[in-house]
Structure 1
């Protein structure tokens, strides 16, 4: 991977977009030990959609993101992250758009 697109230094995508996903990706109240997104880090968008807490804001910033965008970041639920987070790839169109929003090189 190009060092300019090191996700652990960037984090721009986590602080640029609403992260919406189907409710079944979250941990169920019936089984909080499931491997889904922790329900406490989600908020409802519609009857069938949730989003990561903090991403449905005017200035999105995922509640699971730790650190400083553009310097050193990490996802506190990386193994449990929802599908939209798994789909963004370093250097793809969404990545470049997020980096530009934060004034990072594209």
Structure 2
């Protein structure tokens, strides 16, 4: 009786082992998305040709990136000044938690 239980246990291990070893392979094979965040001082949404504004600048590379991906059309600025906003966006923290000057 113990030998048959041992044989069943071995068969169970042989059946489950490939699932454990290779079951996560499909998760690892999934590619993480590429994210491009463009931060620039004094760059307004109307300063690029992405949203149809062609008066000041021509930005064909930004248009090309947007055509192949997703655009971010609703934004919130953490501060009216560029340095605290850039710091909050890159460090994922509130402006109040940063040691960045907020006065001009």
TM range (shorter): under 0.3
TM-score w.r.t. the length of structure 2 is 0.22
TM-score w.r.t. the length of structure 1 is 0.22
Identify the structure with the greater strand proportion: 1
